[in-house]
Amino acid sequence: MQTSPLPKSIDMLLSSNVEPSEEEASKIQSLLVEPTRQLEELENNIRVLEIQLEDLKAKRTTTKETISRYRAVLSPIRRLPADVLREIFLHCLEKHRNPAMLASEAPMLLTRICSSWRSIAQSSPLLWAQIHIAFPNWIDFLVIEDSGDQSEHVPISQRRHLVTGKLFQLQFEAVVAWLSRSGTCPLSISIHYVASSIRSGYPAFPAENLNVISKLFKVLTDEADRWRHFELSIPKDAYDILVEALEGSPLPNNLVTLRVSFTPGGVEPSFSEPPNIIPSLRKISIDDIGHLTNGISRSRLQVLTFLSIHLQRLSTDVAAFVFKNCPSLIHVKFTILSWQQTPSETMPTIHLPELRTLYIGDDSPNLLSTRGFYDAFYAPKLSTLAFYSLSIGFYPSISPALTPNYPMTPISGLLQKSTRLHTLMLCVDNLSDKQLSEILHSASNITHLIYGKPTPPHRVSTFSPSEVPVLVDGYCETKWDFKSTFFETTGNIDSGSIPRTITPPLLPKLERIEFMESARVKALSNSTLLQFIINRMDPLPSGLISSLKEVKVNFNFHLKKKAEINVKESLIKLTQEMGISSNVHLSLTYSEYDYSPLRALGVYSEMWVHDRIDEDVSSPPI
């Protein structure tokens, strides 16, 4: 568009604030006529083009949807045979627990994708052969009464009855439908219920709902001959209801794993012992050893391969009696407590020829009082040992100075005998550096050392670390001085003086080391950690020390995260300067304390909270 040149007088007006004359104003009005017309024409053209563009965009969207629908028909997953889809579906199940009856996870989630998947999922019995039943805590509904949230038309008790009754009825119907889809497959069942600790004395279930609860338990016990793994975390009175439902039901002759933990709360029942006639039972996890030994024949104990006693602390005599009657044990977890104030006497041999994994918690005030118990162990295939102790170490009357012929720690003899031991887990905060050094010198064959309290990521462990934030170095009475234990001389890597490993070398075959709680290890600075890695990366020419392959450290939340970068960068720089290859996998993590009020209300509060040592530790080669 071309415009006529403006008169000189009007052109001057554009660069000033002078008021135009009437003649100049009239001239300007005439000059605006053509540009205004052209602007209206351009805007009309733009509106037409915009309409055309929107129409093209709509057509594009429709075309894409058509292409997408046709391509979906050609999708490779449509060509997968039903048996392949079933196998894929099985891999969608939770690995470390039974699937919950939730629409957000498999197998329920798989039935909500399309009709074809729903048909395949519902006709796949293995998908429904595992079930986790989490009972709602009906005590929570009593809060309505305290909150003053009352209806003018429905009494509180009746409203509670309606709410809990509906929930339990829906749960009953869901369990019936679930089990009906499992066909004849062996079942893995877990039941979890935590009664209110605030309102102790209330029954596990309200009286008005006992009928539907009994029906639900009866549905489960009617399938007892299909039970393969059965897990209970319920109040004792709820357990009584389940045992009553077992009367007249098929015997659980195929049960392999039984886990029973009685949660606090509820009312004290006339307690019933677990059923004893279970010929196939191999794995047991229980609160109290009395639940195992009462009425069970010795022949039943002799075939047990897994045993976990997660609450009761056993005397050394009781523990020895149990293990002597369970010679087939492969994995064991228990805690002992001895009040004896003198060094223990020699005990008869405890022969466990198949034992691979041993988890021991020792709460004895005097560790020397349990030495005879550990010395009695003969487990030639033992490959993993976890030792946890919060003991103060010694009574003054039997101090190490007065007993020079005794080892300072009770497990030294067991470690020396265990020639196949490759993994050692320790949490012994109150032992001295000398005691820890004795333990490590006795475990010269191990390749993997874990110091601290490891917790599997899929659940809370009985040996879980303290939740209290660590803010000062004085958190523990005694800390392991890592530097003085492993290094022969002092020095600082930043100044070019790299301390060498002590001779003879400590843990010469070590390849993996983990610190689960760095605040419990004295002098474990970035510099010390780097010194240790460098020394173990460049082993002695004589082959006395194995090359380090993996280092994991869990620092506390108050340490700055930039430390990880410093360690890694320094490691790369030093290895280049020393001309050695860096094959160490270094993992430094930083724990942060969760101050959220919802911290304790996660999904894992509805799951089994004790160690499952048969799952956590992979079976080592024989």
pLDDT at position 153? 53
Report the pLDDT averaged over residues 5-16: 70
Question: Where do the H-state alpha helices sit in 250-315?
Answer: 290-293, 298-301
Q: Work out the average pLDDT over 204-217.
A: 79
- Higher-pLDDT residue of 421 and 258 is 421
Phi, psi angle pair for 187, to nearest 5°: -105, 145
Token duo for residue 169: 């009825």
Check pLDDT > 70 for residue 598: no
Residue 117 has pLDDT above 90, yes or no: yes
Per the prediction, the chain carries an average pLDDT of 75
Which amino acid would we find at residue 219? V
3-state secondary structure 20-44: CCHHHHHHHHHHHHHHHHHHHHHHH
* Higher per-residue pLDDT: 342 or 457: 342
Q: Mean per-residue pLDDT for 155-167?
A: 62
Q: Say what the pLDDT of residue 599 is.
A: 35
> Is 8:27 a contact under the CB 8 Å cutoff?
no
Helix, coil or strand: residue 349:
coil
Asked whether 550 and 585 are in contact (CB, 8 A), the reply is yes
Q: Which of these ranges, 83-87, 239-243, 403-407, has the smallest mean pLDDT?
A: 403-407
pLDDT at 611: 55
Model confidence at 591, in pLDDT bands (50, 70, 90)? low
Least confident range of 173-187, 273-287, 501-515: 273-287
How high is the pLDDT of residue 581? 67
pLDDT range class, residue 456, cuts 50, 70, 90:
very low
Q: Side chain identity at 331, as an amino acid letter?
A: H
Task: Give the Cβ contact number of residue 240 at 10 Å.
Answer: 18
What Rg do the C-alpha atoms of the chain give, in angstroms?
36
Q: Which helix (H) or strand (E) holds 159?
A: helix 156-180
* pLDDT, position 389: 81
Question: What is the distance between the alpha carbons of residues 451 and 522, in angstroms, rounded to a whole number?
Answer: 12
For residues 87-94, give the mean pLDDT: 92
Distance CA 34, CA 174 (A): 78
Confidence of residue 242 (pLDDT cuts 50, 70, 90): confident
Q: Decide which of 610 and 565 is more confident.
A: 610
* pLDDT confidence of residue 477: 46
Taking the chain, what is the end-to-end CA distance rounded to the nearest angstrom? Answer: 92
Mean pLDDT of 31-52: 92
Residue 148: pLDDT band by 50, 70, 90 thresholds?
Answer: very low
**Which of these, 305, 275, 317, lies nearest to 292 by C-alpha position?**
275
On the CB side of 50, how many CA atoms lie within 13 Å of its CA?
6
Q: Average pLDDT for residues 548-557, to the nearest whole number?
A: 76
Say whether pTM exceeds 0.85. Answer: no
276-305 pLDDT tens trace = 557 788 888 887 776 565 545 566 778 888
Q: Which two tokens stand for residue 154?
A: 């429905």
Contact 171, 217 (CB under 8 A): no
Mind listing the pLDDT tens digit for each residue in 321-365?
Answer: 888 888 999 999 988 887 765 666 778 899 999 999 999 988 887
Residue with the larger pLDDT of the pair 317 and 195: 317
Residue with tokens 């803010």: 471
CA 346, 351, 355, 361 dihedral sign is negative
pLDDT (0 to 100) of residue 96 = 80
pLDDT at 496 > cutoff 70: no
Query: What's the pLDDT score for residue 380?
Result: 93
pLDDT band at 271 (very low <50, low <70, confident <90, very high): very low
Q: Which residue has the higher pLDDT, 177 or 263?
A: 177
- Find the mean pLDDT for residues 73-82: 85
> Residue 226 in contact with residue 185, Cβ under 8 Å?
yes
**Residue with more model confidence, 472 or 310:** 310
Strands (E), 49-169: 130-134
Residue of higher predicted confidence among 592 and 86: 86
Per cent of the chain over pLDDT 90 is: 23
SS3 at position 73: helix
For the chain, the 3-state helix, strand and coil shares in percent, each to the nearest 5, are 40, 15, 45
Range with the lowest mean pLDDT among 140-149, 467-476, 487-496, 527-536?
Answer: 467-476
Whether the predicted pLDDT of 542 surpasses 60: no
For residue 505, is pLDDT > 80?
Answer: no
Mean pLDDT of 451-461: 50
Name the residue with higher pLDDT: 313 or 177: 177
Residue 471 has pLDDT above 50, yes or no: no
User: Is the predicted pLDDT of residue 80 greater than 80, yes or no?
Assistant: yes
